[in-house]
């Protein structure tokens, strides 16, 4: 991977700095892991853009995939450990939006904010990462069946 500079922020932007990559990474934490599920996200990503971003995220080591055991055309995507490490970034972006944007958020976001209102950020981050690791492990067991 070629990076534009020695700046760590610039390097992260080089990896996932487009709108769609960050939303795809968000979707993994919403228990989405197939092309069809990513297509169902409310932002309505085009199929060619989704295909491109999934390939890009895989080539950068942020995601990987496994084939469904009963249908080799179906891929189950998952975050690598490197991808999971992006959760605190996603969390902080959501919290920044809540603090600074005067708007109503969708039901998923509103429920998430409500569920976590009395929790410390580090607790939410740790819990979400651990929950995702369980989802990923369940996926590994499914594809190995």
Give per-residue pLDDT as tens, 118-139.
Answer: 899 999 999 999 999 999 999 9
Look up the domain containing 32 and give its range.
8-144
Q: How far is CA 49 from CA 77, 78, 87, in A?
A: 16, 18, 22
Residue 28 vs residue 69, higher pLDDT? 28
Cβ(86)–Cβ(25) below 8 Å: yes
CATH number at residue 107: 1.10.10.10
At residue 22, the 3 state secondary structure works out as helix
Tell me how many domains the chain contains.
1
105 found inside a domain:
yes
pLDDT digits (tens, 9 = 90+) for 72-92: 889 999 999 999 999 999 999
Which pTM does this prediction carry?
Answer: 0.90
Assigned domain for 88 exists = yes
């Amino acid at each position: 991977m070629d990076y534009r500079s020695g700046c760590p922020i610039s390097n992260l932007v080089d990896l996932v700095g487009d709108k769609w990559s960050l939303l795809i990474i968000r979707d993994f934490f919403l228990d989405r892991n197939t092309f069809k599920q990513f297509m169902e996200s409310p932002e309505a990503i085009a199929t060619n853009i989704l295909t491109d971003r999934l390939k890009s995220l895989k080539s950068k080591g942020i995601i990987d995939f496994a084939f469904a055991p009963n249908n080799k055309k179906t891929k189950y995507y998952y975050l690598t450990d490197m991808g999971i490490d992006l959760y605190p970034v996603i969390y902080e972006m959501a919290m920044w939006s809540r603090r600074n944007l005067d708007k109503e958020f969708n039901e998923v976001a509103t429920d998430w904010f409500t569920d976590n209102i009395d929790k410390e950020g580090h607790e939410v981050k740790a819990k979400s990462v651990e929950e995702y690791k369980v989802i990923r492990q369940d996926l590994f067991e499914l594809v190995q069946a």
